[in-house]
Amino acid sequence: MGQRILVVNPNCLQGVTQSMSAALDEFRLSGAPEIRCETLENGPPGIETQAHVDEAAAKLALYFSDSSPKKQADAYVIACFSDPGVLALRELLKAPVYGIGEASYLAAAALGGNFGVIAIVSKGIARHERAQRALGLHHKLAGEIAIDLPVADLQKEELVWTRMSAVGARLRDEHGAQSIIMGCAGMARYRTRLEAHLGVPVIDPTQVAVGMAMSGLLAKRAGAADKRAAA
Amino acid sequence: MGQRILVVNPNCLQGVTQSMSAALDEFRLSGAPEIRCETLENGPPGIETQAHVDEAAAKLALYFSDSSPKKQADAYVIACFSDPGVLALRELLKAPVYGIGEASYLAAAALGGNFGVIAIVSKGIARHERAQRALGLHHKLAGEIAIDLPVADLQKEELVWTRMSAVGARLRDEHGAQSIIMGCAGMARYRTRLEAHLGVPVIDPTQVAVGMAMSGLLAKRAGAADKRAAA
Amino acid sequence: MGQRILVVNPNCLQGVTQSMSAALDEFRLSGAPEIRCETLENGPPGIETQAHVDEAAAKLALYFSDSSPKKQADAYVIACFSDPGVLALRELLKAPVYGIGEASYLAAAALGGNFGVIAIVSKGIARHERAQRALGLHHKLAGEIAIDLPVADLQKEELVWTRMSAVGARLRDEHGAQSIIMGCAGMARYRTRLEAHLGVPVIDPTQVAVGMAMSGLLAKRAGAADKRAAA
Amino acid sequence: MGQRILVVNPNCLQGVTQSMSAALDEFRLSGAPEIRCETLENGPPGIETQAHVDEAAAKLALYFSDSSPKKQADAYVIACFSDPGVLALRELLKAPVYGIGEASYLAAAALGGNFGVIAIVSKGIARHERAQRALGLHHKLAGEIAIDLPVADLQKEELVWTRMSAVGARLRDEHGAQSIIMGCAGMARYRTRLEAHLGVPVIDPTQVAVGMAMSGLLAKRAGAADKRAAA
Amino acid sequence: MGQRILVVNPNCLQGVTQSMSAALDEFRLSGAPEIRCETLENGPPGIETQAHVDEAAAKLALYFSDSSPKKQADAYVIACFSDPGVLALRELLKAPVYGIGEASYLAAAALGGNFGVIAIVSKGIARHERAQRALGLHHKLAGEIAIDLPVADLQKEELVWTRMSAVGARLRDEHGAQSIIMGCAGMARYRTRLEAHLGVPVIDPTQVAVGMAMSGLLAKRAGAADKRAAA
Amino acid sequence: MGQRILVVNPNCLQGVTQSMSAALDEFRLSGAPEIRCETLENGPPGIETQAHVDEAAAKLALYFSDSSPKKQADAYVIACFSDPGVLALRELLKAPVYGIGEASYLAAAALGGNFGVIAIVSKGIARHERAQRALGLHHKLAGEIAIDLPVADLQKEELVWTRMSAVGARLRDEHGAQSIIMGCAGMARYRTRLEAHLGVPVIDPTQVAVGMAMSGLLAKRAGAADKRAAA
């Protein structure tokens, strides 16, 4: 049986999960680990406050407390930029658990320069800063700015684009960001356009986390091949 | 034309490049970016001192100063744990440049716990510590211990194994390492055996760096697909 | 109507709440703010893992989502050493919210020297370390050691004492701790005995957090008196 | 005999000591530890420079070198925001010694957000920053701004108020301070008005230091009661 | 035979070496260690990029690989603000090796306040920041600003002066720099004028590095005298 | 009139001042700045506690409050490893003020490796650590160990030597110190012997501080010569 990466969207919006899954299609190479995206059906509809983070964390632990086959995987990705439940799941699950917020900061650091973060709402910035400090990468933060659109307006693609591109340009020009992290799980569809517009690498959190998970699983295969050869 | 990852082994040993390339076979999925491994033919035969690092760095900059097609790539991996030339190449090249040392520390951090490093020689430890501090991840270092075998003995596989497994066990048991980084480019063949022996994740630097590079390139494709769809 | 401090024990054990409340009797001075201790009735029976912390956090947010009079207070103390929900409650509630873990580290820092922590179980130590780093006080940690008794044995007072006093002595003698924090909410009854035994200050987390809350409320009164005088 | 907290004003101005003592009246609850405020009669008339701090430190050590009963206490508070002599007195005295500068930073940290500091004179800011760094809490400093009034004008209450409220508003609005520390010992009379004006917690250093001292002494009583009960 | 300090200018410009040597004349006291300045003849013509730094580093190691008498010294100073090769030379050479960038930061720290750095080109600032962090002195950086003149214009003394004095004034006034480091090896001729203009200490990197080297050698003589006396 | 460096021994022991001055003889080159050593006659007989530091600091400020010619200098060195009064004197005096503790750490950092400190008494170690952290160089501390001899025994040269050499060897071998700082003002006579014994650089604090002061003054001359040439 093949390897599987299970991506869990900890908010309850199926649409977000679907667009997330679509943004991972290029990672579904022939022979690559399966990438399955699931929705935490009883999760909060959005994760904006610390209380939402805590709620999602608690529900994720419950979600994984039964061992139904569809929850079995060789690597897990928790697809919310605030990394709810990741610390707990690392204690509960044997396979590696990646948080997409952490993965973004680490992927940005792998490029070498300082990064900027485009937040959805200003009140998340302090929470993100705590995560950057905990990881040790806050010294590489050029700045973080929110687009601060009302939730209803997050569906208005051009409005979002106008804000994201303006915020991205400020992070690049005023803060010296050499790469830009889109600080939210469901924004992958703007990645290419934003990268082309800004001329610096733009990171989608879910993609880089899945990439890390996939990398880890491919390395395990390499190992297994060695072992078979040795046997 | 497809995407290409160029892995450059900055020491001059073709054998090291070959074993490195072999350890990347599982990353060569159908449809995935091409992974090409090259040897810096005038590089030092091994990179043990800071002078070797500086020599390799200078020669890598020269290597990339001509723009022959075989040096063109969409992502570069410098396959020496001391990351020679990576800072300079990031200024010189447009595509992302990954250092396998940095990539290892970042990949270990993505797993969540503290990491231990198995060094080849003790005199490299201070150099590695400088890199860990520069990145901001030194607070996650459980410890680093060298196997300290004479170069000639590095070919004696069981002797190397005996040392590596002993050092790995000390890092896990006495230092509390929750993952182990093999602090050298050419040790991938021990990864699975060591992971099985120690029961904690073992990281091969070249594999994780190539994984990060591949992930970045797949994300670009996803973007391109979006753009085509939008067009 | 007078000022009130609401102490919430986020585990479901009424006995723990009662012994906590008893340990606060000396803070119930005539004319002082009322100190009321409540139990989070649907909380986990103990908080040992990160999943327990997340569960308690989520349930605390729910607990405070209704505004029944008995949940109204002028200051809140969350009485678990892992500070579950404290970050979220600071966003939700207008009055100050004290976490007893944070309060312990801060109270130890106010004494000037390095502190040691007596943990209940070893697996909590990494979690505590994260909190110490987040606060900025990890550089003052002399060391942390767990008594690691099975839950059932935590009722055996002399056994607990034997372990705590031995661990405290090691922290003082081998690690140089100049004060000792009892890293758990329900251990106040050992405080005096331990302080007498060790000859260094011993901190009960709930007491110091309630002391901080009380101090803040008394300061507010002083202000109010000024205002009355000014009117 | 009851517990006593001795607050020493290390400048020689009796008026400052009196207003300080008045601001502590609400902490003088029935049955609470006695709070006695003394003036260091040969202290400098104000503590603005590092030389003043050193002078006060040396004189405080002399002050405590005789063991007259009126200098005996169960806890000491040194009531100058620059914490003169606190390090030395902790070596000299057996009872805990609280510096009001340190206590302010710690009390602000207990509230969870970043704090701003209102300094009296700009030249004190670098000195305060050294203290914030030494404690480990500089990462929580939103900013520090001085009112920079000539000493003579510090008696002009409305002028001081105008400056303090303007500086406080800037710290809150431009620097993001979530609480405000009044960086001077004798400003308690502005606390309530400032808190009402700014809508964020305002900390008077002497009050929070005395609160911490009182909390420590009440905890000791709780212990003593346990011991009596056990006997 | 007397003590010798060998200063190596790692760019190939003899004129720079000569002006460097001239700026050291006052250190050539009667009886003092000899100060000899050499040019790395195959060095790059200027050191502006990381690739230049790496090239200079590699060539310096080669330069010192032969042990001709003129390369023998009791202390070495590498006279480029980016400290090329210093780490490697410390491994290769027995005598102490001083980098003038490091020496500048350390000398500024010895004065007690925060320092500003006048860079030649903006693209060097990130490189300098890495060095400041590696040393542990980044917290003392008030700011760094480049004069950003084209190389050709660096010969136009009044133009350089106009830029340097303006940048120095900004560092002092807007960033609070209490001393100024001229972030380049060949600028000593502006030192006095700039110090007089700005009213704060101005540091020439080569001078302070040679001063440190000389101090170390004089201390060794003191020791030798002791030993002779003891014999 | 020539330049002068004034070295003040802040303890009252003339003998210490004399031996300090003798250890500076090799810095008294022909034409070099005058080096004058003075004793703070009312200083404490030794500086072992923080109270001694504070006392010395206060008395140093008084000492410099009169402007008698013999206290005029172009640079000041405060010759006690705990740097009493240095912060205040930098505010009071126009000329640079060097603390020998700070100068030692900075001089050790200029050598590139980690340093060990030989303390006289264990109770000074925490005080030194505060200074190392404040400076930003604590990450370069390999370790600090005290010889812990009673004051009376500090005159017994062979006993002191036995302890110092043993402590130095432990710092080098067990802690990895690559240089050794003698953490006290009056130990210069052991420097050469210790350096020869240990095979790593040994730093006398007063010598390196005077060396830095001298370097700064020689640089000023260079400037003056430029100015004359320009006139």
- Residue C32 scores a pLDDT above 90: yes
Tokens encoding E201: 């200490």
What is the mean predicted confidence (pLDDT) over E148-153? 84
Any contact of A with B, at least 3 CB pairs below 8 A? yes
Q: Which of F91, F88, F92, F115 is nearest to F103 (CA)?
A: F115
D129 touches chain F (CB under 8 A): no
Contact C29 D27 (CB under 8 A): no
For A18-54, write each residue's pLDDT tens digit. 999 999 999 999 999 999 999 999 999 999 999 999 9
Which H or E run contains F193?
helix F191-198
pLDDT digits (tens, 9 = 90+) for B115-165: 999 999 999 999 999 999 999 999 999 999 999 998 778 889 999 999 999
pLDDT of A223 > 70? The answer is no
Query: Above 70 in pLDDT, residue C228?
Result: no
Residue of B nearest to A141 (CA): B136
Assess whether pLDDT exceeds 90 at residue C165: yes
Question: Touch between chain F and chain A (3+ CB pairs, < 8 Å)?
Answer: no
ipTM of the complex: 0.95
% of residues, chain F, pLDDT over 90: 90
D151 pLDDT above the threshold of 80: no
F29-76 pLDDT, tens digit per residue, is 999 999 999 999 999 999 999 999 999 999 999 999 987 988 999 999
CB atoms < 10 A from the CB of D228, how many?
Answer: 9
For chains F and D, tell me whether 3 or more CB atom pairs sit within 8 A of each other.
yes
Chain D contact for F137 (CB, 8 A cutoff)? no
Is chain C adjacent to chain A, meaning 3+ CB pairs within 8 angstroms? yes
Q: Report the percentage of chain B scoring pLDDT > 70.
A: 96
CA E203 to chain F, closest CA, distance in angstroms equals 9
- Per-residue confidence (pLDDT) for residue F226, from 0 to 100: 57
**Strands B202-203, B179-182: pairing kind:** parallel
CB-nearest to A51 from C92, C123, C133 is C92
* Closest CB from B204, B215, B225 relative to A214: B215
Alpha-carbon gap, residue B198 to B180, rounded angstroms: 9
Q: Which pLDDT belongs to residue B151?
A: 73
Q: Report the pLDDT averaged over residues C181-185.
A: 95
Chain segment F142-157, per-residue pLDDT in tens:
999 999 998 778 889 9
**F140 closest CB neighbour out of E31, E136, E188:** E136
Report CA torsion sign: A174, A177, A178, A181: negative
Neighbouring CB atoms inside 10 A of A151's CB total 11
The answer to whether residue A140 scores a pLDDT higher than 80 is yes
Q: Do chains D and B touch (3 or more CB pairs under 8 A)?
A: no
* Contact in structure between F74 and F212 (CB atoms under 8 Å): no
- E197 in F contact zone (CB under 8 Å): no
E38 CA: distance to closest CA in chain F (Å): 20
Q: Which residues of E touch B87 (CB under 8 A)?
A: 50, 127, 130
Per-residue buried b or exposed e for C35-73, using 16+ beta carbons within 10 Å of the residue's own CB: bebbbbeebbebbbbbbbbbbbbbbbbbbbeeeeeebeb
Residue corresponding to tokens 């040269």: F157
DSSP per-residue string spanning A130-181:
HHHHHHT-GGGEEEEEE----GGGGG-HHHHHHHHHHHHHHHHHTS--SEEE
Contacts of E29 (CB under 8 A, 6+ apart): F29, F30, F31, F32, F218
CA angle F50, F54, F60 (to 5 degrees): 140
Write down the pLDDT at residue D116: 98
Strand order in the sheet with A97-99: A34-39, A4-9, A75-78, A97-99
Which residues in chain D are contacts of C180 at CB distance < 8 A?
A: none
What ranges make up the beta strands (E) of chain F? Answer: 4-9, 34-39, 75-78, 97-99, 115-119, 141-146, 179-182, 202-203
Option in C136, C207, C230 nearest D215 (CB): C207
- Contact list in A for residue B33 (CB cut-off 8 A) is none
The minimal CB distance from E226 to the residues F109, F189, F224 is found for: F189
D113, D188, D215: residue with CB nearest C215: D215
- Per the model's pLDDT, the better-predicted residue between E61 and F153 turns out to be E61
Q: How far apart are CA D163 and CA C50, in angstroms?
A: 47
Is D126 near chain F, with CB under 8 Å? no
Residues of E in contact with B134 (CB under 8 A): 130, 133-134
Measured distance between the N- and C-terminal CA atoms of chain B, rounded to whole angstroms: 20
Chain D nearest C-alpha distance from F203 (Å) = 26
Rg (CA), chain A: 18
CB E134 within 8 A of CB B134: yes
CB atoms within 10 A of CB A82: 28
F177 touches F142 (CB < 8 A): yes
| CB spacing of A113 vs B96 below 8 angstroms | no
CA D181/CA D165 separation, integer angstroms: 12
Out of A109, A211, A220, the one facing B106 most closely (by C-beta) is A109
Asked if B112 contacts A86 with a C-beta cutoff of 8 angstroms, the reply is yes
User: Strand ranges (DSSP E) for F66-205?
Assistant: 75-78, 97-99, 115-119, 141-146, 179-182, 202-203
Hey, what domains does chain C have and what are their CATH numbers?
4-100+207-230 (3.40.50.12500), 102-204 (3.40.50.12500)
SS3 content of chain C, % helix, strand, coil (to 5): 55, 15, 30
Q: Is B55 on the interface with E (CB under 8 A)?
A: yes
Closest CA to E81 of E16, E142, E35, E22: E16
Cβ within 8 Å of B, E 72-101: 84-85, 87-88, 90-92
Q: What residues in E contact F23, CB-CB < 8 Å?
A: 222
* Distance from the B62 Cα atom to the nearest Cα atom in chain E, whole angstroms: 9
- Stronger pLDDT, F126 or B227, i.e. the higher one: F126
C197 interfaces chain D, CB cutoff of 8 Å: no
**Between chains, do F91 and D49 touch, taking CB under 8 Å as contact?**
yes
CB atoms within 10 A of CB E224: 12
Q: What local confidence, expressed as pLDDT, does residue C194 receive?
A: 97
Cα of A58 to nearest chain C Cα, Å: 5
Summary count for chain C: helices (H), strands (E): 8, 8
Q: Does F113 sit within 8 Å of E222, measured CB to CB?
A: no
Q: Is some CB atom of chain E closer than 8 A to the CB atom of B126?
A: no
Contacts of D147 (CB under 8 A, 6+ apart): D118, D119, D120, D160, D163, D164, D167
Could you tell me the CA-to-CA distances from D16 to D41, D45, D50, F196 in Å, in that order? Answer: 12, 10, 20, 59
Distance of CA A215 to the CA centre of its chain: 15
For residue B190, the chain A residue with the least C-alpha distance is A223
Band of pLDDT at residue F222, cut at 50, 70 and 90: confident
The three state secondary structure string of D119-159 is ECCHHHHHHHHHHHHHHCCHHHEEEEEECCCCHHHHHCHHH
C37 to chain A nearest CA, in Å? Answer: 22
**Rounded Cα gap, residues A103 and A205, in angstroms:** 7
